[in-house]
Structure 1
């Protein structure tokens, strides 16, 4: 009899398996490939069983079952159900177009053109969503392949096996659902870097002896919008993937950490956007000195505070807030001196800059105070 594994060996195997499962759960490209392969293989086996029980018409068309399984496993657990329904509906619509056309026209190039045109127009039906392309595919399959056989049997086998395969795919998705944490984490990393770079660029523009020219401000603008859109899309996909997902509990700590981080970066994005607007519009050398929002006395303190905020944004929860808080206090002191011998309009914009920086720091402090539960 084989020897019983030692407890230490069993523990090592369990840890390695756990790491493998966690890695697959958070890297969607590999996870989708594995799920799709397993679902396709299971669907082929189920279709083989159906073919044994009902050889006519299912035995000759087993390959349609893996096709339906792949459709169902290409998205989240919650969406796989709706996608399977839409794909089935699109197949029925396409099959109906081909069937009706085949009754009135011979199968030739003109018929193929008519079927594709009609099916393409029906694919615009909003209900079909991203499964609309199946309408044309189904119409061509039924017209070309089904036309040479008993078309009603082919349509029955085609639709039936795709539905069976989609059902298998849905079950696989429910058992091992995708949880795309890695892409959302990468998107948040990118947004974090872009925001920090933008703050550094603003600070660099204020360190000189004069206010920047308009073209110099333009050179310091960073493409924040694409990073914001990417982070938003990734966050929405990760949020949707949590529905009907039995693995969320295992990664609860990481999921909650990303949600907190997303909220913090949302506040930081709004702050950076406002700072860019205030500085690029109000602190330029083509403006009269009396109309500039900062002036020589405030440019350097604002630059120091922006640079300190950039460091906080870039370092994340591990950042030391003390240098940034000190920079803000020095900026407030400089602003108080400016207010002592200026008018109200001289410091309103500068005060808004201080409030923006403090708002970003408050959001970071609140996010850092959240309890870190870790992965369960």
Structure 2
């Protein structure tokens, strides 16, 4: 039984859309109930209250307040547009076209954010549905949306979203992709000859989509933490996750630099390569250590023993680069850049 409950809880926290749907349904039902009990003319249009409730429960607490205000402003602007057109034109295809065109222009105002489409919806409702009772409909429509939004914000305030688990999962996916990419680079350096451009291409991983998802997830979590009472119980976990995100963000830049340097400069198509047979083994060892350190980035602290192994590997590569520079009259700037990138990556992991 406990195992089943734990599994269900794990699924619940990994799918914030479920809790969002439940909160939206509860807020909409409450808003409908309030709309039905409201005095006339509000009780004649109770179905508009749930619209405001849905707007206020489909995002984080801070965003729900902002988007509720934006939606209400857009609704009022749409109503004004519809009433203005109604004063000069009778209901017709021409009046609908004019209302929609003007409302669409207004919906692009940056103050509305993503809620600008409410201006068009409001304008059409007021022009067509509210034509029989112009003043009463506008007041009831706007008023009920405001009430519904207030109920939605209240529900969000009681149970604010804090998607730490989904953002943690996104960071874990990013970590795995980065560690796999580093290991793949190390594999390419362990042969007698450097890989060809085609072989390097086969070793490249699609990091950008995973990185974008992780950044978006962390941004949502940071926004959800604003004025969130649940943060008190999860403050340490949230702070640790922010540090992990910063370290992995830096790691993504480091890995991108490493891929670019090695793919471009350590290839069979170049007469002068970045590392050569003397430096490739040391570089592969340092990359292996860095890959293991990346793979170990989790909710807890990074293993200090693994970080020390990275430092030793990078230091060994640095010394080998210095010796090779002295013995061979070459600058080995790219090899030095590899060392600097690995040092930067190790320092970011140590900061977690």
Same fold? TM cut 0.5: yes
- Alpha-carbon distance in 1 for matches of 2:330, 2:278: 16
CA distance in 2, matches of 1:180, 1:330: 42
Partner residue in 1 for 2:28: 40
Distance of 1:79 and 1:276 partners within structure 2: 38
Query: 1:236-247 residue pairs with structure 2 within 5 A?
Result: 236-247=219-230
Within the candidate set 254, 266, 285, 1:283 is matched to 266
Give the distance between the partners of 2:165 and 2:190, measured in 1 at CA: 38
2:346 corresponds to 1:358? no
Q: Which structure 2 segments of 5+ residues have no match? A: none
Partner of 2:60: 76
Q: Is the 8 A contact 1:27 1:181 kept in 2?
A: no
CA distance 1:174–1:23, change in 2 (3 Å): farther
Q: List aligned pairs for 1:7-156, cutoff 5 A.
A: 27-50=15-38, 54-55=39-40, 57-147=41-131, 149-156=132-139
Displacement, 1:336?
4.6
Matched, 1:213 2:196: yes
Q: CA RMSD in A?
A: 2.3
| Per-residue deviation, residues 236-268 of structure 1 (Å, max 9, x unmatched) | 111111111111111112211211101111221
Residue 206 (structure 1) shift: 1.2
Q: Is the 8 A contact 1:25 1:178 kept in 2?
A: no
> How many residues matched?
343
Contact 1:25 1:179 in 2 (8 A): no
Q: Residues 325 and 331 of structure 2 are in contact (CA less than 8 Å); yes or no, is this contact kept in structure 1?
A: no
Cross-structure match for 1:331: 317
C-alpha distance in 2 between matches for 1:95 and 1:219: 57
- What is the match of residue 341 of structure 1? 327
Q: C-alpha distance in 1, partners of 2:351/2:58? A: 37
- 92-101 vs 156-165, greater mean Cα deviation: 92-101
Query: Take 1:114 and 1:75, find their aligned partners in 2: how far apart are those partners?
Result: 33
How far apart in 2 are the matches of 1:128 and 1:366? 40
State the distance in 1 between where 2:70 and 2:97 align. 24
Distance (whole Å) between structure 1 residues aligned to residue 322 and residue 15 of structure 2: 52
Counterparts of 1:67 and 1:95, CA distance in 2: 16
Matches of 1:296 and 1:85, distance apart in 2? 64
Return 5+ residue gaps in structure 1 as ranges: 1-11, 368-376
Deviations 1:250-309 (A, max 9, x none): 111221121110111122122112212221222122222xx3211111112211221221
Alignment correspondent of 1:6: none
Aligned counterpart, 1:309: 290
Cα distance in 1 between the residues matched to 2:226 and 2:349 = 28
Q: Deviations over 1:191-240 (max 9, x none)?
A: 11221122122112212211222232223222222222222221111111
- 1:138 CA displacement: 0.7
Secondary structure in structure 1 of the residue aligned to 2:255: helix
Superposed CA deviations along residues 15-36 of structure 1, whole A, max 9, x for unmatched, are: x79x95x975664211211211
What CA distance in whole angstroms lies between the structure 1 residues aligned with 2:268 and 2:13?
53
Seen in structure 2, the aligned counterparts of structure 1 residues 279 and 80 have a Cα distance that, compared at 3 Å, is same
User: Pairwise mapping of residues 193-232 of structure 1 onto structure 2 (< 5 A)?
Assistant: 193-232=176-215
Per-residue CA shift, 1:162-219, capped at 9, x if unaligned?
A: 0011011111111211112233112212211221122122112212211222232223
Alignment deviations for residues 63-95 of structure 1 (CA, whole Å, 9 cap, x no partner): 111110110111111111111111111111111
